[in-house]
Structure 1
Amino acid sequence: MFSTDEFKAQGKYFVFVHIDVDTNQALKQQFGVGGIPDLRFLKSDGTEVHKVVGYKGMAVLGDFDIAREKGK
């Protein structure tokens, strides 16, 4: 999924960061991560505007649109 053109196109709106919550327990606790995958959409000031927990396949692209709208 991450290698698709549709997903890559989101790169002009978002900065993607992969965090291994098994080795970074502090961030896991800070964000209350319980399930994986866990996608968080943050503004540049760190404010969370949207999150997705669980695998949604390509349907997750709709969440990128939601996050962009909420982040305005």
Structure 2
Amino acid sequence: MVNDFLAPNEMMQLHEMLNLKTINMTSSKMMEGVVFDQDLKALLERDVQQDIQSIGELQKLYSKAPKIR
């Protein structure tokens, strides 16, 4: 049997992962402004882009969240 919804503990874990990715993206984006090394700046930009993609994928999982009535 396949469930098309997330259990409460899965919702909590999803929320924690989303918070982690958001904080990581914000930190990397802020560090880009104070870093002068172009290689490091490129790594930070790539990290930001990966985090944006991950956040989008995590947000899609919210559609499986149980609906509150």
| Bucket of the pairwise TM-score, normalised by the shorter protein | under 0.3
Structure with more helix by fraction: 2
Structure whose alpha-carbon radius of gyration is higher: 2
Q: Which one has the bigger strand percentage?
A: 1
> Does 1 or 2 have the higher relative contact order (CA < 8 Å, sep 6+)?
2
TM-score (norm 2): 0.26
The alignment's TM-score, normalised by the length of structure 1, stands at 0.25
